[in-house]
Structure 1
Amino acid sequence: MENVLDSPYTDLERPPLSQAALNRALVRPGGLWSSLTVTERTGSTNADLAQLARDGAREGAVLIAELQLAGRGRLGRAWTAPPRAGLTFSMLLRPAVPPARQGWVTLLVALAAASAVRRLAGVEVRLKWPNDLLVGELKLAGVLAERAEGAVVVGMGLNVSVRAEELPVPTATSLVLSEAECADRDPLLRAVLREVESHYRDWVAADGDADACGLRSAYLGMSATVGRDVRVELPGERVLRGVATGVDAAGHLVVRTGDGEQTLSVGDVVHVRPA
């Protein structure tokens, strides 16, 4: 396995993150973030944080990996990036909202990250339901939420300085390839976590009501899915074609077909693609 320190890029090109600096900037009394840990390498930040959740870790723990060796997205899909070329991290949340509304966690984190990247990097990021950040039709980042002992662990992989020859698939991109105004991981991570905290606080205060806190309207305003003809691949090689008309109060995608409207949860869907 490649060691982070053996990367062909220097610390000037791909500098390491400072755990001490991140904690000084983001951990404060009464704030959401309780601790930030930077590890040189791990298998999966989601798996590590899920174990900490089982051990009783506080809400707001964040684990960041400079290199993730067994990263994964939805349905076990692999997520890979060279050392220090992206932001790979997971957050431990314990949302005190009704279970039926907790499906919004994935969408909330995706929206927060897109808002932060738009503001700091000047890149027109859109949201593909349920968990991708897109630049045009190319994937910039993905979000994966998993339950663990009454908590929700939310992981994100965001391509920052990944070069074209380093992309895992031709349908991916990075901030550098998108000519971003900022490709410095430290301020990007701070901006994303601050945006997550802001949206999360409002959502929890509204008891998970995505309309009352403005979450649903903000999400729809950045959606690359709603309003488009879509081809939805379902388990068992079934396909649903129609128009994505919205996202309901539980965060489910609403698709209008010739037979009427159908509501799809994250677990119902293999892929959502433009028709």
Structure 2
Amino acid sequence: MTSQPPENRDKDAGRWSDLGRPPLNATALRRALVRPDSLWTALDVVSATGSTNTDLAARAAQGEAEGAVLIAEEQSAGRGRLDRTWSAPPRSGLFLSVYLIPQVPVARWGWLPLLTGVATAAALSRTAGVDTALKWPNDLLVTSADSDALRPGGTLTERKVGGILAERAGPGVVIGIGLNVSLTAAELPVPAAGSLTLAGASTTDRDPLLRAVLRSLEHWYTQWQSADGDPATSGLHEAYAAGCATLGRSVRAELPGDTAITGEAVAIDADGRLVLATANGVQQPVGAGDIVHLRPATEA
């Protein structure tokens, strides 16, 4: 048997060193998802990058076709809203961006991150068997057990398992999705984070999870476009409201300039804004671009 050079053995060891977190198979994913009748026109998996959104936006500026998908096994500079950064261990989650060029009025493009949330939550609930909810405007929540949940007084807690970031790029929009799949409690970046593993998911195999997310996103995007971006006609408005954990809660919307609005979240309006009913009887809509943080009203 011919032995491999040391450098090749090291590469293989790095690729397979964590057998609980095997790499994605780009060829199999392309075969399943990139078809003539599909929204997805290209699919690439890279071992590591700073940000899939940044990379795909650069491709969009050079004329990338709609439907490109870029997935990273590891992100060193993943971005959320307001340039917040986060990272996770290699192959511990799904870190991807898609490029879309909606053929609907631009005024309705603000629904794209909410649409992505609905699609992703539906895919996770169906494929991983986890109770997935949406925190307006761009977070995905799961219910995780605290360490003492099985003892008297133990609790179930909502944890952030993922986030969505939509950015204009070229003639379209790059939408990034980040999901914590197999992170352990010791690997969580902040106490409020969670993972599918910690939520008791029926599977943490990233291949079927990724396929389900992209197929669900294709379904909702096609339906929304067929309705000319109308959130009511497409069923998107109803689906988002039904899955939004923010509604019915008292929240504090922190705005730029150290100002805030406190009230009960009572609705999502036709523009995708969160409507707060304040103590003085006013219903105040706030847009995703208007807020710095959305917190429970009781949180300092």
TM above 0.5, one fold? yes
Q: 1:225 aligns with which of 243, 246, 250?
A: 246
**In the alignment, what sits opposite 1:241?**
262
Structure 1 residues 227 and 58: CA distance shift in structure 2, 3 A: same
Q: 1:74 aligns with which of 77, 81, 90?
A: 81
Q: CA deviation at 1:216?
A: 0.6
Q: Deviations over 1:187-240 (max 9, x none)?
A: 000000000000000001101000001001011111111111111111111111
- Does the 8 A contact of 1:92 with 1:151 survive in 2? yes
Counterparts of 1:1-275 in structure 2, within 5 Å, are 10-136=17-143, 137-257=158-278, 258-275=280-297
**CA-atom RMSD, angstroms?**
1.6
Which sections of structure 2, spanning at least 5 residues, go unmatched? 1-9, 144-157
Structure 1 residues 94 and 77: CA distance shift in structure 2, 3 A: same
Which sections of structure 1, spanning at least 5 residues, go unmatched? none
AA aligned to 1:268 is D
- Does the 8 A contact of 1:92 with 1:153 survive in 2? yes
Could you tell me the percent identity over the aligned residues? 56
**SS, match of residue 13 in structure 1:** coil
- Does the 8 A contact of 1:101 with 1:249 survive in 2? no
Q: CA deviation at 1:121?
A: 0.8
Q: Deviations over 1:136-174 (max 9, x none)?
A: 321000000000122100001100011111111110000
Structure 1 residues 93 and 19: CA distance shift in structure 2, 3 A: same
AA aligned to 1:156 is I
CA distance, structure 1, for counterparts of residue 269 and residue 86 of structure 2: 28
Q: CA deviation at 1:81?
A: 0.8
TM-score (normalizing by structure 2)? 0.88
Aligned length: 273
CA distance, structure 1, for counterparts of residue 173 and residue 204 of structure 2: 29
**SS, match of residue 102 in structure 1:** helix
Structure 1 residues 200 and 4: CA distance shift in structure 2, 3 A: farther
Q: Deviations over 1:60-95 (max 9, x none)?
A: 000000011111100011121100000000000001
- Does the 8 A contact of 1:4 with 1:40 survive in 2? no
- Answer with 1 or 2: which has the greater Rg: 2
TM-score (normalizing by structure 1)? 0.96
Q: CA deviation at 1:119?
A: 0.6
